[in-house]
Amino acid sequence: MSSHWFRNGDVYTVDAANPWARSVVVLDERIAYVGDDEGAREHLRPDTVEVDLDGRFLMPGFVDGHDHLIGGGIGKLGVSLDGLVGKDAVIEQIRRYALDNPDLPVIRGHSWTPFQFGNGQRPHRTWLDPVTDVRPALMNSYDFHDGWANTAAFIAAGIDASTPDPNPPASFWPRDPDGFPSGCCCDGEAWMPIAAALGMFSLEAVKEAMQMTLFPAPSWGITTYFDASTVVRGALNDRVFQHLVDLDSAGELPVRIVASHALRDPEIPVEQSIERLRQLNNDFRSPNVSITTLKLFADGVGPQHTAAMLEPYADEPDNFGPFVFDTDAMSRHVLAANAAGFDVHIHACGDAGVRGGLDANEAAQRTLGRTGARNTICHLEFCNPADIPRFAELGVTANGTPIWGSDYRGEFLDAYPTLVGTERLERDFLPYGSVLRSGATLTFGGDCPGTEIHEIAPLKQIESAVTRQRPGRPDDRIASPHERMSLADAIRCYTVNGAYALRLEDEAGSITVGKQADLQVLATNPFRVASHEIHTIAVDATMLGGRFTHQR
């Protein structure tokens, strides 16, 4: 191993007992000293390498509390539809891509939103058919929850008018009058069979995705993250985890990974799911890889009206949105997982989904008591104010993606009032500041492919948490200004809070003697720049357990 002495800069430890220092000594993989230069000299070894910060900023590595850096990049392959306005612009982009890539057997694309085509209008397969010729085409939405396929893709997957919806009402195909799917694939079970038929899922595809998302993570200052699903299943999922363990054994894994076993089918017996998680936990483990968590889906997402809501959608007054796992199903799974010593991470976008997740945790605690479980409810696209205090009361962590709490993509603040009305939007939309001030543990994550790859960067997310605007957009409308938070609080959400949620508070999250040397060097002190410039700060170096994983 090696030894390093970081000096001559601002050291922000995120340790409440000792928040600022000037000097840090790393011996092998751990932090040996935090303080001033004089004290540091007593801990140096002959092999210690001095790192002159030259006025730069040293802080803990970021702990991303929800992301998909293993397989999520699969959802960002092909032609990007990000930032385009209107159906014609989207179709033209796809047409040009297809013409420029005549040898591709499948036309892939990503990052469309339902709002691009006008509120309430879902994309149709016949829009794609003329510009993709006879080749199958599949376009993933910006959040990877939905798909948009042409006729050839449905035929390749053996899906026609007689094919039943995969998991109604949560996952389905809107239909033409003759019963054939119209082209939009609402939620994962609807587009994944098409993706599988088109050869989208393979170990090679995951490795390609990792080059886009996992391996660059240290350049964004990330040292640890929670993988909320590899996005692949079955035997391929096992091969992916074995690949990660092999990378770690070879000293080539760029970040520490705490991973999950993701469930979308509530009909699978609870005992079977817990046994599968136990198997993954036992079979795929290394110093920087562990599988500790059961991932559940309470519901879908707001833009497709699949988030479970306490009140109906404003533009669909008979639709409250469906549950995937209803409260009873979540309760059974939370109880079983916590009893077996595992944690639970629940996707919940609608306020009814959030409440159901909290109710499930409360039910489990009535049976088990407070076991010390580190359960999380993520996203909180909408959360009723009455439920905000319950996170702290139940010891449930809330996780969010701050950049969504802005006029994301220049669309959200115009589109969401149509979905829920202005009052509910202002009151309930991604209430991260309120959750934090309630005393709950709040963590942040980039959640790619629910965001673009460049938006994984925690400094971009932190800026949006502080401003409730898109990074670098000081003239943007502010989304729920009362949900803004301080820079110090936003950093805690990406460091000590994230470590706590992953049971790593004794190993990571702050620059504290005895912890792993998970560090990053920023070119500039973020407390000394304007809030709209935080995202511009370069990460000059990143260290994981005393090993440099990035140097600029």
3-state SS of 364-403 is HHHHHCCCCCCCEEEECCECCHHHHHHHHHHCCEEEECHH
pTM, two decimal places: 0.95
pLDDT for position 265: 92
Same domain, 342 and 469: yes
Same domain, 24 and 78: no
pLDDT for position 169: 87
Residues 300-321, mean pLDDT to the nearest whole number: 95
pLDDT for position 268: 96
Same domain, 311 and 455: yes
Mind listing the pLDDT tens digit for each residue in 384-410? 999 999 999 999 999 999 999 999 999
Residues 7-33, mean pLDDT to the nearest whole number: 97
Note whether residue 509 is domain-resident. Answer: no
Same domain, 190 and 334: no
Q: What is the CA radius of gyration of the chain?
A: 23
CB contact at 8 A, 74 and 205: yes
Structural domain total, the chain: 3
Q: Which residues pair with 347 in a beta bridge?
A: 297, 378
Residues 336-365, mean pLDDT to the nearest whole number: 98
Query: How far from chain centre, in Å, is Cα 267?
Result: 25
Give the residue numbers spanning the domain of 180: 72-197
Same domain, 111 and 218: no
pLDDT for position 23: 98
pLDDT for position 315: 94
Instruction: Say how far apart CA 518 and CA 62 lie, in whole Å.
Output: 8
Same domain, 192 and 225: no
pLDDT for position 167: 86
Same domain, 287 and 358: yes
What is the CATH classification number for the domain harbouring 527? 2.30.40.10
What is the CATH classification number for the domain harbouring 301? 3.20.20.140
Residue 120 has pLDDT above 80, yes or no: no
Same domain, 252 and 298: yes
pLDDT for position 542: 98
pLDDT for position 187: 87
CB contact at 8 A, 523 and 536: no
Same domain, 188 and 229: no
* Sign of the Cα pseudo-torsion (196, 201, 202, 205, in order): positive
Same domain, 79 and 152: yes
Residues 6+ apart with CB under 8 A from 453: 73, 76, 212, 213
pLDDT for position 119: 67
pLDDT averaged over every residue in the chain: 96
pLDDT for position 188: 87
